[in-house]
A = this chain, B = another copy of it.
């Protein structure tokens, strides 16, 4: 069989204050098109479907529509797990009904051990988990680290392996290649958090990972990150985004790139150069700007924004401190009441009513009085 491997959609994420929903919808349509062109038998989404545990109503609406389109209109089986950004409980709403239409969404460790079989392959859907959940699941308080936990989980999954099938694991964690010494395994740390050694995942023919946004975070034929479908920060500016098309007989993975609706560019130059070159740059893209000028230019960010409206960061070559840029930086001058109104608007997708605003103002006044 053949499946499409993607992850880390982070629906509802914004980029330094800029709403990405339209860009995310654009890339979803590309993924849908690839799934159809490549005639895949399933779409695998390895966690972080949403950007936060309580996504905005607009984000909920968009992801609902996308999953509806893939599963009920295009009739594509979907396999999905919750990531660390998702609320397992909230995301899991409806999963028992979804499964009846070949949309398999798993958000609990307890349900990770029974595979979903599609064609010649058994898929094990392991959501993001904490060590305590593994201790509870096996009734074993001695499980202390992620590799011990994963070894137990994998052993439990292997009990249910049908030897006539291929075996694919879907998971959402840090994984890293392992360096073995004679009789001990080095603990591997990525960004201060311990990582799962790829050797622990040896029983699987393919591991479809989510969590890291760079598909090159790991160099392994068998254990792969798809990365996110679009760039979510300046640190991702140089990454090519895409999806894996994975064949199971024999196993091979083909990389299919995705085209960003609005790319992130890094620019470096003097104020004068940047202004002069601006007409050749796409107006609607995002920019990280490094200014090489020695002298201070008053109100430089606003001046640059007349030419590059979507600047997301600004540095100076000759000044150590980065100038923090956030589209939403006006917040700093907002009152707590305005902040709350903003939070409400972003979470609910609608403005507070006059009555709600009054309640909020009264409550905040009351808090300040009591301090």
Residues 69 to 102 of chain A near chain B (Cβ within 8 Å): 72, 87, 89-90, 92-94, 96-98, 100-101
Could you tell me if B94 and A98 are in contact, using CB atoms closer than 8 angstroms? yes
Which residues of chain B are within 8 angstroms of A367 by Cβ–Cβ distance? 336, 339
Closest 3 pairs (CB-CB, A-B) = A94-B94, A97-B97, A57-B89
Could you tell me if B61 and A89 are in contact, using CB atoms closer than 8 angstroms? yes
- A54 interface contact, C-beta 8 A: yes
Q: Which of A64, A100, A339, A371 has the most CB of B within 10 A?
A: A64
Q: List 27 A-B pairs, Cβ < 8 Å.
A: A53-B348, A54-B54, A54-B347, A54-B348, A57-B89, A57-B90, A60-B89, A60-B90, A61-B89, A64-B89, A64-B92, A64-B93, A72-B96, A72-B97, A87-B348, A93-B93, A93-B94, A94-B94, A94-B97, A94-B98, A97-B97, A97-B98, A97-B103, A100-B101, A332-B370, A333-B370, A336-B367
Q: Which of A57, A94, A336, A367 has the most CB of B within 10 A?
A: A94
Which residues of chain B are within 8 angstroms of A53 by Cβ–Cβ distance? 348
Which residues of chain B are within 8 angstroms of A93 by Cβ–Cβ distance? 60, 64, 93-94
Given contacts A64-B93, A97-B101, A339-B367, 16 further A-B contacts (CB under 8 A): A54-B347, A54-B348, A57-B90, A60-B93, A61-B89, A64-B89, A64-B92, A89-B349, A93-B93, A94-B98, A97-B97, A97-B98, A100-B101, A332-B370, A335-B371, A336-B367
Q: Contact mask A341-371 → B, CB, 8 Å, 1/0?
A: 0000001110000000000000000110011
- A68 interface contact, C-beta 8 A: yes
Min CB gap A79→B, angstroms: 15
Copies of this protein in the complex: 2
Which residues of chain B are within 8 angstroms of A100 by Cβ–Cβ distance? 97, 100-101
Min CB gap A193→B, angstroms: 12
Which residues of chain B are within 8 angstroms of A87 by Cβ–Cβ distance? 57, 348
Min CB gap A274→B, angstroms: 31
Closest to A369 in B: B332
Which residues of chain B are within 8 angstroms of A54 by Cβ–Cβ distance? 54, 347-348
- Tell me the bound Cα distance from A261 to B245 in angstroms: 55
Q: Contact mask A305-343 → B, CB, 8 Å, 1/0?
A: 000000000000000000000000000110110010000
Which residues of chain B are within 8 angstroms of A89 by Cβ–Cβ distance? 57, 60-61, 64, 349
Which residues of chain B are within 8 angstroms of A96 by Cβ–Cβ distance? 68, 72
